[in-house]
Structure 1
Amino acid sequence: MSAPLLQVNGLVKRFGGLVAVNGVDFSVAQGEIVGLLGPNGSGKTTVINLISGALPPTAGSVALQGQALTGLPAFRVARAGVARTFQLVRVLGSMDCVENVQAGLAFGTQNLPQRASRAQALKLLERVGMADFAHTTASELTYINQKRLELARALALRPRLLLLDEWLSGLNPSELVDGIALLRSLREEGITMLMVEHVMEAIRALCDRCVIMNAGSRIADGPPAAALAEPAVVRAYLGDDDA
Structure 2
Amino acid sequence: MSRTVLEVQGVTKRFGGLVAVRDMRFDVTEHEVMGIIGPNGSGKSTMINMISGLFPPSEGSIRLKGAELAGLPAHKTARKGVGRTFQLVRLLPELSVVENVVAGAVFGHRRRWGKPAEAHARQLLERVGLGASIGLPISSLTYIDTKRVELARALAGDPEVLLLDEWLAGLNPTELATGIDLVRSLRDEGRTIILVEHVMDAIRSLCDRCVVMSSGAKIAEGTPAEVLSDAEVIRAYLGEDEDA
Interval containing the TM-score (normalised by the shorter chain): over 0.9
Paired residues in the alignment total 240
Q: Once the 2 structures are TM-superposed, how far is the Cα of residue 35 of structure 1 from its aligned partner?
A: 0.7
Q: Does 1:193 align with 2:193?
A: yes
- The aligned residue for residue 163 of structure 2 is 163
Q: Separation in 2 of the partners of 1:157 and 1:23?
A: 30
Q: Separation in 1 of the partners of 2:140 and 2:182?
A: 23
Equivalences for 1:78-227 in 2 at 5 Å? 78-227=78-227
Q: Once the 2 structures are TM-superposed, how far is the Cα of residue 141 of structure 1 from its aligned partner?
A: 1.5
Q: Separation in 2 of the partners of 1:160 and 1:111?
A: 14
- Normalised by the length of structure 1, the TM-score is 0.94
Gaps of 5+ in 1: none
Counterpart residue type for residue 123 of structure 1: Q
In structure 2, do the counterparts of structure 1 residues 150 and 216 end up closer, same or farther at CA, with 3 Å as the change threshold?
Answer: same
Which region of structure 1 is more displaced relative to structure 2, 87-96 or 134-143? 134-143
Equivalences for 1:47-62 in 2 at 5 Å? 47-62=47-62
Q: Once the 2 structures are TM-superposed, how far is the Cα of residue 109 of structure 1 from its aligned partner?
A: 4.9
Counterpart residue type for residue 196 of structure 1: V
Q: Separation in 2 of the partners of 1:54 and 1:108?
A: 15
In structure 2, do the counterparts of structure 1 residues 96 and 201 end up closer, same or farther at CA, with 3 Å as the change threshold?
Answer: same
Check conservation: 2:5, 2:30, Cα contact below 8 A.
yes
Identity of aligned residues (%): 56
In structure 2, do the counterparts of structure 1 residues 37 and 111 end up closer, same or farther at CA, with 3 Å as the change threshold?
Answer: closer
- Normalised by the length of structure 2, the TM-score is 0.94
Which region of structure 1 is more displaced relative to structure 2, 126-135 or 33-42? 126-135
Which region of structure 1 is more displaced relative to structure 2, 183-192 or 122-131? 183-192
Check conservation: 2:187, 2:206, Cα contact below 8 A.
no
Gaps of 5+ in 2: none
Counterpart residue type for residue 216 of structure 1: G
Where do 4+ consecutive residues of structure 1 move more than 6 Å? none
Q: Separation in 2 of the partners of 1:209 and 1:123?
A: 30
In structure 2, do the counterparts of structure 1 residues 109 and 208 end up closer, same or farther at CA, with 3 Å as the change threshold?
Answer: closer
- The aligned residue for residue 9 of structure 2 is 9
Counterpart residue type for residue 151 of structure 1: L
Q: CA RMSD in A?
A: 1.5
